[in-house]
Structure 1
Amino acid sequence: MTTARPPAWPVRAAAVHGRRTVVPAVTGTAYATGTGAFTVDPDDTLVPGFVRRRR
């Protein structure tokens, strides 16, 4: 049996937009694996070119 903390654990209960949730604490290591960029053609007739909708 170990006394080490797991890589993630709940810190406290919370509510977001009326929905019950928890606020987690997370430990560990992460590495940047890439980047992304969007370029919009100024002559694009559908400016801004695309619409990002939230689900």
Structure 2
Amino acid sequence: MPKSRLLDASTIPVHLDLFRLVDFSTVIVCTERFVDACQRLRLDGVAFQALPVR
């Protein structure tokens, strides 16, 4: 995985809250809505890191 990550907004599926990257299948990307749901449910064992989108 490159040190500098940047998501292309035109490639993000609008109908999914959770998906994998084609070139980096070990990376799981989620929406802010998914993060909010996990925090509301107080789920643990998951770390979230913000990714820039252009």
Query: Scaled by the length of structure 1, what TM-score is found?
Result: 0.19
Q: RCO (CA 8 Å, sep 6+): is it higher in 1 or 2?
A: 2
**Bigger-Rg structure (1/2):** 1
Q: Decide which structure has greater helix share.
A: 2
